[in-house]
Structure 1
C-alpha cells in the first residue's frame, strides 16, 4: 500500500532552473567575468549540493569564502523568485494525498532558507511540515541518506513510497534508497533520467501514467 510521497524541490515542485541559471551567471560575472552555458549548467550544476558544487566552481577560495559565495548566489535566486508556480497537476496530487492520508516530505539539496522561501512563494508551506535539507546531513544527494532520512521521518518503508525527482543526483539518491522513482523531465532528458534509475519519466503531475501507478499502488 502507498503511504508516503517524497518530493525534490527545484525542478520538481516548481520549474526554477532558469532562475538558478541566471543567478549563477550573475554571480560568476560579478566574481571573474566567467560565462556559464545552459549545457554546462545542466551537466555540472543542476541538482548538486552547494558544498561540493562551490568547491568545484571556486577551488581557489577558502571554505569561508565559498560559503559566502553560495549565500550570495542563493540571495540572488530568492530575489528573482518572489512568487513561484507549482508544476501542473501538483495541487491535484497534494489534494489526493490529503484525502488518502499519505505522508508528505520534501527532500532537497537546496539550503533551508531557499526551501522555506520556495514553499512560501508557492503557497505550500502548510502542505509540507517535513522538509529534509541535505546540507544538514552528513551526505547529500546522490547519496541515498537524504531519502532514507525522509522515510524515517515519515515512518514509511521504501516499498510504501514514491519519490519525485528531476535531476540525475536526485534520481540516483532516491533509487539507491529503494524507492520507486518518478522523474520529471523539466531539467534533463528522459534518457538520462532513466539511465540514472528512474522507473517512470513524466512531463508533469497530470500524466495519466502517474495516476495509473498511484491507483495500482493504492489497492489493498
Structure 2
C-alpha cells in the first residue's frame, strides 16, 4: 500500500535549472571571466550537491574556496528566485496525497537555506512533513542515504513509497534505496531518465500514466 511520496526539489517541485545556470554563469564571468555553457551545467552541476559541483568546476581549489563559491552561488540563486511556480499538477498531487493520508517529504541536495527559500516562494512550507537536506547527512545523492533517511522520517519502507526525481544522480539515489521512481523530464531527456533507471517518465504531474500508477499502488 502506498503511504509515502518523496520529492526532489530543484527541477521536480519547480523548474529552477535555468536560474541555477544563470547564477553560475554570472559569477564565473564576474570573478574569472569564464564562460559557462548549459552543456557544462548538465555535466557538472545538475542534481549534484555543492561539494561535488565545486570539485568538478574547480579541482585546483581548496575546500574552503569551494564552500565560499557555493555560498555566493546560492545567494545569487535566491536573489533570482523571489517567486517560483510549481510544476503543473503538483498541487493536485499534494492535495490527493493529503486526502488519502499519504506522507510527503522533500529529499534534496540543496542547502537548507535554499530549501526553506524555495518552499516559501512556492507557498508549500506546510505541504511536507519533513525536509531532508544533504548537508545534514554523511553522504549526498547519488548515495541512497538521503532517500533512506526520508523513508525513516515518514516511517515507511521502499515497497510502500514512490519517489520523484529529475536528475541522474537523484534517480540513482532513489533507485539505490529500492524505491519506485518517477522521472520528470524537466532537465533531462526522457531517454536519459529511463537509462538511469526511472520506472516511469512524465512531463508533469498531470500525466495520466502517473495517476494510473498511483491508483494501482494505492
How would you bin the TM-score normalised by the shorter chain? Answer: over 0.9
In 2, Cα distance between the equivalents of 1:30 and 1:129?
39
The corresponding residue for 2:153 is 153
The corresponding residue for 2:38 is 38
In 2, Cα distance between the equivalents of 1:7 and 1:32?
35
Deviates more, 1:172-181 or 1:47-56: 47-56
Question: Cα offset for 1:73?
Answer: 0.2
The corresponding residue for 1:47 is 47
Alpha-carbon contact 2:112-2:133 (below 8 Å) kept: yes
The corresponding residue for 1:166 is 166
Kindly provide the CA deviation profile for residues 164-201 of structure 1, in whole angstroms up to 9, marking residues without a partner as x. 00000000100110000000000001111111110100
The corresponding residue for 2:107 is 107
The corresponding residue for 1:21 is 21
The corresponding residue for 2:73 is 73
Q: How many residues align?
A: 218
Deviates more, 1:52-61 or 1:1-10: 52-61
Question: Cα offset for 1:39?
Answer: 1.3
List aligned pairs for 1:131-210, cutoff 5 A: 131-210=131-210
The corresponding residue for 2:6 is 6
After TM superposition, what 4+ stretches of structure 1 lie above 6 angstroms from structure 2?
none
Partner SS for 1:205: coil
In 1, Cα distance between the equivalents of 2:129 and 2:57?
33
Alpha-carbon contact 2:163-2:174 (below 8 Å) kept: yes
Unaligned runs of 5+ in 1: none
TM-score by length of 2: 0.98
The alignment's C-alpha RMSD in Å is 0.8
The corresponding residue for 2:98 is 98
